[in-house]
Chains A and B, each alone.
Chain A
Amino acid sequence: QQTLPSQAPGRWRPQQPRIPPSVSEEPIGRGQQRGPQSVPQGQNGRRPEGLQISAGFQELSLTDRGGCRKDFHDLGVNTRQAIEHVQESKTGSSGTMIKLTANYCRLMSRPQWALYQYHVGYSPEMEARRLRSALLFQHEELIGKTHAFDGSILFLPKNLGNKITEVFSRTRNGEDVKITITLTNELPPTSPTCLQFYNIIFRRLLKMLNLQQIGRNYYNPSDPISVPTHRLMVWPGFTSSILQYEESIMLCTDVSHKVLRSETVLDFMYNLYYQVEEQRFRDACAKELIGLIVLTKYNNRTYRVDDIDWDGNPQCTFRKADGSEISFVDYYKKQYNQEITDLNQPVLISQSRRKRGSMMPGPVVLIPELCFLTGLTEKMRNDFNMMKDLAIHTRLPPEKRQREIGRLIDYIRKDDNVQKELGDWGLSFDSNLLSFTGRVVQREKILQSGSVFDYNPQFADWSKETRGTPLICAKPLDNWLLIYTRRNYDAANTLLQNLFKVTPSMGIRMNKATMIEVEDRTEAYLRVLQQSITPDTNIAVCVLSSSRKDKYDAIKKYLCTDCPIPSQCVIARTLSKPQTAMAITTKIALQMNCKMGGELWSVEIPLKQVMVVGIDCYHDTLCGKQSVAGFVASLNQTMTRWFSRCVVQGRGQELVDGLKACLQTALRDWFKWNKYLPSRIVVYRDGVGDGQLNTLVNYEVPQFLDCLKSVGEDYNPRLTVIVVKKRVNTRFFAECGGALQNPPPGTVVDVEVTRPEWYDFFIVSQAVRNGCVAPTHYNVIYDTSKLKPDHMQRLTYKLCHMYYNWSGVIRVPAPCQYAHKLAFLVGQSIHREPNLLLSDRLYYL
């Protein structure tokens, strides 16, 4: 009986004279490289190696994973101090009060608590860290049982009494050593060092609770959710961080789910091998795997796949710390008893960006067979059914989420070991989640052609309310193309007929389309477009039979660059269901209108002469090559028209230069439209990673200012730069008749959970059907507008109503979402800057 081959048939690559992989070492295959290597090292200016905390914290150091190897929390970036008008207060006042709970919990310390930091010196000098600790802790009666020591810095919860304490110890050799313990610092509970320290203690507590660390978070492996259809396992767990917030030091903890896959990278490659043609196999592997995080079988480490070395294989050798050469097969067999069965598999390369212990950062070689995949691939994310399956498990409604969070706090409060550890340091956690008062700002009215609409705040959606109302500006469909394959003739015809039904009430004048049948090949589509598009063509609509990306990409590329006209692609199947056909056609009609420069609705914007800018980035994880920044700027007072440009950058280039050029052109276009320059500019900057705030403040903002200066001597607009962050762990729960609910759209929080050194606030703008709503964090890092916080918050919330692809409120201001769409289209399909002739239309929707 025929069974599946256990290995992908041959041909990883014919064996070549081996060049050993340019890698790596000990015990996890990382370390010094052999010979010179040209791999670019991570960004420089990394923090110096942190403190190694000992005494019960041996396995943790301040540079520990999830620690502060990178400043994830942007500590020490104090932007509020430079913004004059929020020195006194950064809180708004409008709206109605609402009682909220957040997933925060106060960390409390004894009154007058301090952490005492000592420097420990040895005479004669002792080299080995372990010897230094051993000698020091001969004096436990003096130091006490609770301590943290890294070999030279000692932390104690108590004061030794003297500035300098001298003690003597004797080594095994009978040598007497003088130890000088000098008090160097008395750290208040809020000092940055203390914060790092709390986080270390907290991670230690999570370990005590038998949670597994993966990446930055901790998970409970004993109760996994299994999704066999996709070989997925979901582990419930927690994210946590302890930081100084507005009023107090708090633990922010949220439920997190880790998606793991019970297949190895090699399994995955085998499967892929069956799905693609031989010659596309390597590309397909690279596309699917590069950028993914893998988890090694033999230890608890995660790595990012940066490359696949097809010339490498498990039989390649590397040099161990002791200088001996060993092959990967032998090494893993000997060290971990791991059998590698496929000796011809390629190897994965991960560029380590940080130093681990004494080992230098550098490429790490990983064996596919010994690596598990984690997380979802793009393909899985697009799998609607699977995401639905997952959502059932991962989308917790407010009540349940709060209960899970409460459980962690309970664990901590009930576990004896954990309590002892905390008690020894004089720390404890509040038993209740943080409660405070937020505000729900006034609901916006939707304005459309003289009519004013209210919408139901529960859904934050007005598609029903505005149906059948003329648009603010309807663009006619006088001359347009409808392209389809023979098989999709019916679908195309249905679309046409339905468009005839829905457009009149919108005020769109429409002629019958030029109907063109094509063969279902990319070249056929392109040829037809070339032949049929005239200068009068309003838009080209293509009915596609599948979501094959290559066809879509080719069409978009051609119509965004070489032959710049708006285009609309529709998948035939979308149109096939009678019950949804009209709703879908309405959406298509609206989208087509926007792409041609039409306007749908607006909200009242009292602020005059203001240009709003949105920026977002797209990083090509597949090829690791380019980044795209999308840039959009409003062109009119009602913010219904948007200018757009984008910057396509190779690896390692800074985006700022490109952004400068974008801002310049945006101002020029604004001037063309309005005959004056804006007196205020508000930039919403999305796509800023954790720890990048400093770069933004120090490089990007000055570039914007430079750019404005270059416009003219006497041009001095007020500039506001706001960093928009969607991925935050903060969650708010509204107390409503004893039950917990999502806070309603328009909820603004600018107290308690904000940071004292920032001018920041949270807004819940959208409504969700399932699970918990995620607030968006806004951090005003530069502001000469002198606008009151209230006005800044209101403007931001208003802009969340202005995204034309969704007749409802969205999570971020519309310019951010537009910038995102643009960057995504260019990054995914076009790969170069689209033609500027399209720049005043929303062609990228």
Chain B
Amino acid sequence: MDKNFQEEQFTGIIKFTPPLYKQRYQFVKDLVGKYKPKKVADLGCADCTLLWMLKFCSCIEVLAGLDICASVMKEKMHRLSPLPADYLQPAERSLTVTLHHGSVAHKDTCMLGFDLVTCIELIEHLEESELKLFPEVVFGFMAPSIVVISTPNSEFNPLLPGVTLFRDLDHKFEWNRVQFQSWSLETARRYDYSVEFTGVGHPPTGMENVGFCTQIGVFVRKYPQTSASVQSEKPTEAVYKMVFKAVYPSLKDENYLRNAVVSEVIFTAQIIKQSLLDRFMSEHEYNDDPTERKSEFQPSMNCFSEDLGKLVVEKSMEPFINGNVVYVPLKTIFSFPKVNRLCGTFEKLCKLIAGKVTLSSDGSALMFNSEHENE
């Protein structure tokens, strides 16, 4: 069921730039940019290309895909996994991506509570019986704020060489604009949605009357989401089978936040400590070590010293050395923008680093042993 590919085959003469499937996805991306939904489900997600594009949209916190064919989903699902960079710098937003194996003719509570549901080139693959159940599942049961449905416009087909009946063997039907619009309007009326029609893939000049190659209906729910409506749903049993789940590292997760803060605090404190030590001691390093065992130490971070001078305006914020111990006040660390941004408040900072770093007896400063570095 490779719909993108099939269309490319047939539109060999009428060439869309960018390719039509990309235009459809871009349409969805633009819609996401406009409405900023938090939870998005793609029904008939196939090889997950649209989901992959959507995972970069920073407003989305939940992404779900559903397809009747598990193997096509599995083929490339790993690109929905977090990237190394997502672990290295966890994002502010949380993101969970799940893939489910199942039919749009069945209800499953995992599809509740979504803001946007996309059905890109889906309905024409549905058997008549499934198509009948589809509005109730999507508009009645899932009842998201917005539904996007795209489907081929059969009026365009004569312009596609080689298309005799349908654009794809798996298509059960292809509608003209009137058919799609009347189905849409009827559905919208029944489930209290408004609908607007548009499309992608402009017809060639002189043939404008056939309409877009792909017709699109954007349905917007007219009634507000009541929490009651979600809860009132009878819990149906899980009929979809989850085939993939990825939870992205996020600063919303206390653990990631703590790690990020502790890392940043220690790193910042090291910089401060080193610049302090540099003022007290000359560099001690060695080269040409007669013992082959390398034991060189190079202060790797002697930067920021000038700025530090300006930074620690308040006396209480000045780092100091007492015996072998370097004290770096938490207030000083908190004044660094990155730490500040991560924690928000000083209290939060203290709470997050508790137990993870060595603090002075009054808890106001980080303690480091200066000897350690010069062994």
Contact = CB atoms under 8 A, between A and B. Distances in A.
B and A form one assembly = yes
B84 A212 contact: yes
B132 interface: no
A130 B5 contact: yes
Nearest to B247: A222
Given A128-B9, A131-B9, A383-B297, A226 B263 contact: yes
How many residues of B sit at the interface, in one of the four size bands? 35 or more
B307 A2 contact: yes
B286 A274 contact: no
A379 B300 contact: yes
Nearest to B307: A4
B131 interface: no
Contacts of B71: 56
A345 interface: no
Nearest to B263: A228
Given A3-B311, A59-B78, A296-B85, A337 B56 contact: yes
B282 A546 contact: yes
B164 interface: yes
Nearest to A261: B88
Nearest to B259: A226
B84 A275 contact: no
B286 A385 contact: no
A377 to B, nearest CB: 9
A806 B163 CA distance: 79
A574 B295 CA distance: 10
Contact of A385 (B168, B262, B372): B372
Interface string B308-327: 00110100000000000000
B287 interface: yes
Interface in A563-615: 568-574, 584, 587-588, 591
Interface string B179-208: 000000000000000000000000000000
B300 A260 contact: no
B304 A4 contact: yes
Given A3-B336, A56-B75, A571-B285, A173 B164 contact: yes
B160 to A, nearest CB: 11
Nearest to A270: B303
A2 B311 contact: yes
Contact of B83 (A56, A173, A297, A574): A297
B292 A805 contact: yes
Contacts of A112: none
A105 to B, nearest CB: 24
A229 B78 CA distance: 32
Given A231-B263, A231-B267, A382-B294, A212 B76 contact: no
B290 interface: yes
Point out which of B264, B286, B311, B373 has the most chain A C-beta atoms below 10 A from its C-beta. B286
Point out which of B9, B163, B262 has the most chain A C-beta atoms below 10 A from its C-beta. B9
Interface in A195-243: 207, 210, 212, 214, 219, 221, 224, 226, 228-231, 233, 235
State the majority secondary structure of interface residues on A.
Answer: mixed
Given A228-B267, A547-B286, A2 B310 contact: yes
A262 B88 contact: yes
B89 A544 contact: no
B310 A574 contact: no
Contacts of A385: 297, 372-373
A787 interface: no
Point out which of B259, B300, B311 has the most chain A C-beta atoms below 10 A from its C-beta. B300
A230 B266 CA distance: 9
Given A3-B336, A224-B87, A299-B83, A571 B286 contact: yes
Contact of B287 (A260, A295, A547, A591): A547
A308 B320 CA distance: 40
A20 to B, nearest CB: 21
A1 interface: yes
Given A172-B167, A570-B290, 17 more contacts: A3-B311, A6-B337, A59-B79, A130-B5, A174-B164, A295-B85, A300-B83, A338-B56, A372-B85, A384-B294, A544-B286, A548-B283, A549-B287, A570-B288, A571-B289, A572-B286, A805-B292
Interface of B: 2, 5-6, 9-10, 17-18, 56-58, 71, 75-76, 78-79, 81-85, 87-89, 162-164, 167-169, 259, 262-267, 270, 282-292, 294-298, 300-304, 306-307, 310-311, 313, 335-337, 372-373
29 contacts: A1-B335, A2-B310, A2-B311, A4-B311, A130-B5, A172-B169, A173-B162, A173-B163, A212-B83, A214-B84, A219-B84, A228-B263, A229-B267, A229-B270, A260-B88, A262-B88, A262-B89, A297-B83, A300-B84, A336-B56, A372-B84, A383-B296, A383-B298, A385-B372, A547-B287, A552-B288, A574-B290, A584-B291, A591-B290
